[in-house]
Copies of this chain bind each other. A is one copy, B any other.
Amino acid sequence: MPKLTETDVAREADDDGVCGPVEILRFGDSGGLTQFGANLEILPPGSRSAQKHWHAAEDEFLYVLEGTLILHEGDAEIAIAAGEAAAFPAGRAVGHCLENLGAAPARYLIVGTRAAQDVVTYADLDRVLTVDRAARTHVWTDAAGRPAASAYAMD
């Protein structure tokens, strides 16, 4: 049965210690999809979705269901309200993340390709994450390629 509701998909409460808490409802994974992720994320006031980053190999798309989010893209800040969306083509070398500056939790759908290999660049933090899904490896370096700590353990 392909139907999925919020009560029957896998839920994950995440908090990386830097960006604040976020709740992730894994619709795509729970429905058996492997080619892209399709999550509903609930971002409380004050939280960010991630450190600012961009993907070399994976397209990303988000659609806001509830609330208004600030999209940080490079040095720009752009408000995205319910019913609005954003798209990040693979290789567009501008770091982005979402932040909830509102008073209530914001909800958005986020879809991202699952490429076999990807390189994620966190330019502001001098960090690069190289991902190989087949080998199940995640390797953090600085921009020069030297081993470095995760962008999520720097504060």
A residues whose Cβ falls under 8 Å from a Cβ of B: 1-6, 27-28, 30-36, 38, 40, 58-59, 61, 63, 65, 71, 73, 76, 78, 80, 83-90, 92, 96, 109, 111, 113
Please give 6 more A-B residue pairs, beta carbons under 8 A apart, in addition to A3-B85, A27-B61, A28-B59.
A3-B71, A4-B84, A6-B83, A32-B87, A63-B109, A111-B111
Residue of B2, B61, B73, B78 touching A38 (CB-CB under 8 A):
B61
Contacts of A36 in B (CB 8 A): 35-36, 59, 61, 111, 113
Q: How many copies of this chain does one complex carry?
A: 2
Q: Are B31 and A89 in contact (CB under 8 A)?
A: yes
Contact A2:B33 (CB < 8 A) given known A38-B61, A63-B109, A85-B27: no
